[in-house]
Amino acid sequence: MCTKERKSVMNIKKLTLTAFFVAIAVAGSLFSFPVLGSRCSPIQHLVNVMCAILLGPWYGLAAAFLAALIRNILGLGTLLAFPGSMCGALLSGLLYKWMKKLPAAYIGEVVGTGIIGGMLSYPIAAVLMGNQTAALFTFVVPFLISTVGGTIMAIVITMTMKQTKVLARIQQQINS
């Protein structure tokens, strides 16, 4: 197989896995709970970490965007799903790509979603959603609750995958 064909197969694998993770995130949003005005979906954060580790920052960002878009179209989420999930997915993916350490992906998800995404939600809530009572840090605590729950689930899954050497095999298969 030539290099161009191999790269095409790799892209198809990554696109397929991205679609799979989008489906998990959307279906997982049915298992959400309200916390201080936002809908917390820990499955999205599990998906963000898995995408970061298996697919990289850009596929993770795409998966987060598509999941947020579909959730909003189906009435399963709010506009706040965009900054929260996308910031977490991107930072998690970038830190994992740069450091190649699982804790980097976990920290990236918590900081990206909980702090950065929470703060970026303020203008969306105030301007687009008409929430005049929102303040800069209004969404940080609920976003942190959601992302910590999802990240703990990701830690359990990825550590198990690493110990059983499944993680390395999947990463190798995706990138070959």
Q: What structural domains does the chain harbor?
A: 3-174 (1.10.1760.20)
CB 41 within 8 A of CB 77: yes
- H/E stretch holding 22 reads helix 3-28
Instruction: Round to the nearest angstrom and report the end-to-end CA distance of the chain.
Output: 11
**Which residue from 111, 167, 143 is spatially nearest to 42, judged by alpha carbons?**
143
| Residue ranges of E strands in the chain | 33-35, 38-40
Q: Categorize the per-residue pLDDT at 6 as very low, low, confident or very high, splitting at 50, 70 and 90.
A: low
Specify the higher pLDDT residue, 85 or 128. Answer: 85
Average pLDDT over residues 98-125: 94
Average pLDDT over residues 130-137: 72
Residue type at position 120: L
- Global model pTM greater than 0.85: yes
Task: Summarize pLDDT for 151-167 with one digit per residue, the tens.
Answer: 999 999 999 999 999 99
pLDDT for the residue 158: 98
Task: Summarize pLDDT for 112-131 with one digit per residue, the tens.
Answer: 999 999 899 888 887 777 77
Percent of the chain with pLDDT over 70: 91
Sign of CA dihedral 57, 58, 62, 65: positive
pLDDT for the residue 32: 75
